[in-house]
């Protein structure tokens, strides 16, 4: 999609009917995408998710091996001080992994630009839409499924709202490939891993405000 041709998103109701067109901020939806930057941010989030619990024991940590296996001279064998040498089966490991923290943080300006680039990717692919505020009287999965059916949503779907009501959270939690997040908690992985993104108008306004005001 040519970014010059479209500067709005269509707002749909729960049945998938078009209600109105809402203008987009041209400073955010400018069509520019930095894929190298997105890759670096993706690596950061994945590194931060690593547990870093892999661990091995050195020769000083392996149990046993306190006695010299044979005398130093006269046996015809190579001298050996411990059966827990790294050269022996069951011995310690040399330069093996130890518990560590893989987490690191990129500057806020880069993270903000990455979210902007993800929005532009979905905008160009026409996989981002607006949906009117969702309200459920009861936390029934069947009612939420009707919304998905009305909008003809398939694949991995992300709903972005300003606030998540308990009824919506309960009604959607057992539906596969459906995720709900608030605008303030939205990150790059959410936008990269989901095929369709649906914002409520209030959530989109909050995200635009967040992208402009964060320093």
List beta partners, residue 180. 159
DSSP state of 16: S
pLDDT of residue 6: 54
pLDDT of residue 215: 46
Question: pLDDT digit string (tens) for 110-129?
Answer: 999 999 999 999 999 989 99
Quickly count: other Cβ atoms within 10 Å of residue 61's Cβ. Answer: 11
Spatial distance between the Cα atoms of 10 and 23, rounded to a whole number of angstroms:
9
Q: How far is CA 68 from the centre of its chain?
A: 52
- Are 40 and 110 spatial neighbours (Cβ–Cβ below 8 Å)? yes
pLDDT of residue 3: 46
| Enclosing H/E stretch for 193 | helix 188-193
Torsion angle (degrees, nearest 10) of CA 91, 94, 95, 99:
10
pLDDT of residue 5: 54
What domains, with CATH codes, occur in the chain? 9-33+106-213 (3.40.1370.10), 51-101 (no CATH)
pLDDT of residue 9: 87
pLDDT of residue 71: 94
What strand order describes the sheet that includes 128-131?
18-23, 8-12, 128-131, 196-199, 157-161, 178-182
Reported pTM: 0.79
Segments in the chain below pLDDT 70:
1-6, 214-215
| Enclosing H/E stretch for 129 | strand 128-131
């Amino acid at each position: 999609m040519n970014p010059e041709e479209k500067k709005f998103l269509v707002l749909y109701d729960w049945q998938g009917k078009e209600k109105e067109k809402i203008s987009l901020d041209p400073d955010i939806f400018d069509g520019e995408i930095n894929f190298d930057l997105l890759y670096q941010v993706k690596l950061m989030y994945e590194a931060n998710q690593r547990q870093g619990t892999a661990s091995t024991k050195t020769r000083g940590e392996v149990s046993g091996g306190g006695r010299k296996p044979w005398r130093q001279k006269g046996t015809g064998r190579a001298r050996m001080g411990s059966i827990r040498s790294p050269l022996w089966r069951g011995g310690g490991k040399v330069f093996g992994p130890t518990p560590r923290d893989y987490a690191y943080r990129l500057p806020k300006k880069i993270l903000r630009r990455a979210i902007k680039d993800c929005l532009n990717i979905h905008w160009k692919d026409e996989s981002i839409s607006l949906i009117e505020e969702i309200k459920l009287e009861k936390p029934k999965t069947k009612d939420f499924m009707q919304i998905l059916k009305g909008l003809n949503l398939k694949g991995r779907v992300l709903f972005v709202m300003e606030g998540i009501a308990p009824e919506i959270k309960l009604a959607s939690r057992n539906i596969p490939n459906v995720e709900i997040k608030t605008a303030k908690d939205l990150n790059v992985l959410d936008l990269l891993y989901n095929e369709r993104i649906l914002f409520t108008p209030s959530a989109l306004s909050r995200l635009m405000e967040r992208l402009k005001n964060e320093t």
